[in-house]
């Protein structure tokens, strides 16, 4: 009877609201991506998918919450490239940053933009580099904590410019953007899902995009390589996770709903407006996601070790 009940429950998944934890503040890039995906997934699953923001400590607080949640498919994590950098950046965590999770599927890969407050004394990337070299720690660089994409981009930027800046950490780049627009911080590197509308409105000054090619959504913006920093290449991949031990058939069902979301016309259009695109359908699977994640940990490990900046 127990087996029968378990089978019946598995077949009926989901029976109630699903929570997706975003490990950064509301209104930021991860939140924006997650809300678009959650809405369509909810329609496919026939249940509401709620987004909960658990920001702080570069995404590790939200990730910890999910690693420690019941592995029943009702608590999920939508996290980004930080899943690839955190295992190296943090020597002590309250959860296992790799073994604590099942993968469900990749979601998207988002370009980043190097942006400054609109009245910063630099008109292009070369002038910005000169300004940072001159003023160094007087320049305030906003990020979302160690493990955030904005933190990783800052590491690459500092390596390329070879001058220390002062870091100002936030719970996400949503609130960091508010301060950059207000001019209380000077500089940030953040995903196009958060920066595109502000760049277009002239609320911040954009210097470069961190991809090999220019973006159709911001065609005037040079690549970092074109503008003089050839090493500055990074895109922020996102993936959906469940706690370790979540039954495979539940992860498969969630993966199917994710695939439905990623071929939704409205979502694709919205992603394009924000300078990104969904991954291919065969990447929105547990297997492709896990392989990509493992390769990404290996990719960033030497970069982080060379920078020598850890969380402890
Ligand atoms: C966010 O959602 O706030 C961002 O993804 C933060 C970051 O990683 O820079």
Site to substitute for ligand 1 among 21, 27, 32, 59, most atoms within 8 A of C-beta: 59
Query: Is the C-beta atom of 31 inside 6 A of ligand 1?
Result: yes
Retrieve residue 7's tokens: 């089978």
Distance of CA 7 from the midpoint of ligand 1 (Å): 39
Q: Residue 20: name the closest of 9, 45, 12 by CA.
A: 45
Instruction: Over range 199-225, report the average pLDDT.
Output: 97
User: Inter-axis angle of helices 248-262 and 286-307, to 10 degrees?
Assistant: 80
What ipTM is given for this predicted complex? 0.98
CA distance 117 to 201: 13
Q: What is the pLDDT of residues 8-49, one digit of tens each?
A: 454 689 999 999 999 999 999 999 999 999 999 999 999 999
Residue 46 neighbours by CB distance under 10 Å: 9
List b or e across 235-249, with b for residues whose CB sees 16 or more CB atoms inside 10 angstroms: bbbbbbbbbeebbee
Instruction: Over range 161-167, report the average pLDDT.
Output: 93
Model's pTM, two decimal places? 0.95
| Atom number of ligand 1 nearest to Cα 81 | 8
| Atom number of ligand 1 nearest to Cα 29 | 2
181: left (phi over 0), alpha (psi -120 to 50) or beta: alpha
CA distance readout (Å), 240 to 28, 39, 112, 273 = 17, 14, 20, 22
* 287, pLDDT greater than 80: yes
pLDDT at residue 1 in the model? 40
Distance of CA 122 from the midpoint of ligand 1 (Å): 25
Parallel/antiparallel/unpaired status of strands 187-191 and 101-117: antiparallel
Q: What is the pLDDT of residues 56-70, one digit of tens each?
A: 999 999 999 999 999
């Amino acid at each position: 009877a127990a087996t029968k009940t378990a089978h019946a429950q598995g077949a009926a998944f989901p029976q109630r609201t699903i929570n997706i934890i975003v490990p950064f503040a509301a209104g930021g890039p991860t939140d924006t991506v997650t809300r678009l995906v959650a809405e369509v997934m909810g329609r496919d699953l026939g249940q509401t998918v709620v987004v909960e923001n658990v920001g702080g400590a570069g995404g590790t607080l939200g990730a910890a919450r999910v690693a420690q949640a019941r592995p029943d498919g009702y608590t999920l994590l939508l996290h980004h490239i930080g899943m690839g950098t955190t295992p190296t950046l943090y020597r002590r965590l309250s959860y296992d940053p790799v073994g604590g999770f099942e993968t469900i599927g990749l979601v998207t890969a988002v370009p980043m933009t190097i942006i400054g407050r609109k009245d910063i004394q630099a008109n292009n990337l070369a002038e910005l580099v000169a300004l940072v070299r001159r003023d160094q720690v007087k320049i305030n660089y906003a990020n979302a904590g160690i493990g955030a994409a904005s933190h990783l981009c800052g590491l690459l930027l500092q390596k390329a410019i070879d001058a220390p800046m002062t870091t100002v950490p936030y719970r996400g780049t949503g609130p960091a953007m508010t301060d950059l627009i207000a001019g209380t911080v000077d500089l940030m590197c953040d995903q196009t899902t958060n920066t595109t509308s502000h760049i277009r409105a002239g609320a911040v000054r954009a210097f470069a995009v961190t991809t090999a090619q220019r973006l159709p959504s911001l065609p005037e913006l040079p690549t970092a390589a074109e503008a003089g920093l050839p090493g500055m290449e990074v895109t922020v991949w996102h993936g959906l996770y469940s706690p370790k031990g979540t039954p495979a058939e539940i992860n498969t069902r969630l993966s199917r709903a994710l695939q439905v979301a990623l071929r939704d016309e409205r979502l694709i259009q919205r992603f394009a407006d924000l300078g990104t695109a969904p991954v291919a359908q065969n990447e929105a699977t547990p297997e492709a996601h896990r392989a990509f994640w493992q390769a990404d940990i290996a990719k960033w490990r030497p970069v982080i070790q060379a920078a020598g900046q850890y969380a402890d």
